Amino acid sequence: MGSQCSKFTPCCLDSQFKPASVVEVSDTIGVEGKNEADSLPVFREFTFEQLKNATSGFAVENIVSEHGEKAPNVVYKGKLESQRRIVVKRFNRMAWPDARQFLEEARSVGQLRNRRLANLLGCCCEDDERLLVAEYLPNETLAKHLFHWESHPMKWAMRLRVALHLAEALEYCTSKGRALYHDLNAYRILFDEDGNPRLSSLGLMKNSRDGKSYSTNLAFTPPEYLRTGRVIPESVIYSFGTLLVDLLSGKHIPPSHALDLIRDRNLQMLTDSCLEGKFSNDDGTELLRLASRCLQYELRERPSSKSLVAALIPLQKETEVSSHVLMGIPHSTSLSPLTPFGEACSRKDLTAIHEILENIGYKDDEGVTNELSFQMWTDEMKETLTFKKRGDSAFKQKDFRDAMECYTQFIDAGTMISPTLFARRSLCYLMIDMHQEALNDAMQAQVISPVWHVASYLQAIALGMLGMENEAQLALKEGTNLEAERSRISDEHK
């Protein structure tokens, strides 16, 4: 790797930079397995009801926006009936007043399909609603891994890989006539199941009716945007330069300050102290040179995305190491240690699951909103509650057909909403080989209680019984993560 150094000497800024040899853009770095983009469904239009159900009624628990509920356009995670994980961006009601313009833009972006993108899968345009649907990537943002890491900082080889993958994403979009990206920053880069970085396709569409394309932090805004209020391809390259500074420094340094440090040769301030001795002088110099070129005031002095790709390919390190290994992320094929519930689901041990559900009782219904009217004092309500009691008794005695019928009568009465009841009926269906009905009930339980691990576990079993093994593994992993998070929160409150 050459001499190891994370401090630059003044000679690092001399202008005798040798142009990088042009290398064909290919699958050189960190691309494992088949091209996932080829297996994606074609872009489609969803109904508002479908997306409402997918996000459990746009539940607060499913918000993944950078600024949560305060974001002008909120992003939710969700799951379609096909079990595909998605994110849904819901624009505020004043955004995109022209429905035709919104649909045309969404369809255009939806034609893009590339493994360097978190691809757009569909949209919804009903009444005042404007929503975009994209792939869900489960392993957080670059901002989280770079600025807010908990266990270990991002390795130098991975930072170089992020830069290349991002440049390749921009070059692909440019080649398809979509060179404009709005507010490119570390929150727009996401990591997939394999730990590979991808660019969110949501930034390929403007955020609002006024065409505002950048956040309110003017320190990171391209100078020409401040003059004209318009994004041009060169503006995207400028933002790419700010990301290169982020990757080198591990901090979000304003471009003007970064350029001042470069001019003053105060380069130690520009390098992440966590990378001490972890990269060569030449590598750091080249990355800094690229960042400097991207941040030039004059548009013509900024490089193209194609030349950025050519310059970044020769810098790649540890190319034989998978991204998930470099990132320290468990691979999608591996699971965290399973709890007794998770183990029972993995084995499809319905008897063990029955025992667990019986022990849980109805305590997980606490906090679920149930609006009871004066009906609860009538004979009709008492009769309805009798169905539940009879169902619980039959469930305990393992008379699953009788329990299913009683629970159905209680649910059909529509007096109370209970995720536990749907979970219990789901297990009853599993016991009598009605697997699709079991899946439907498990999904309904999750709609009512979006972060309830029991619902995900039951979905895993039903999907496995239906022969959908990949989806079953994803549901099992989701249930494991939800249960672990529940335990962590419980421990914190003890």
Of 27, 38, 183, 264, catalytic: 183
183 is catalytic: yes
The residue among 419, 421, 418 whose CA lies nearest residue 406 is 421
Active-site residue list: 183
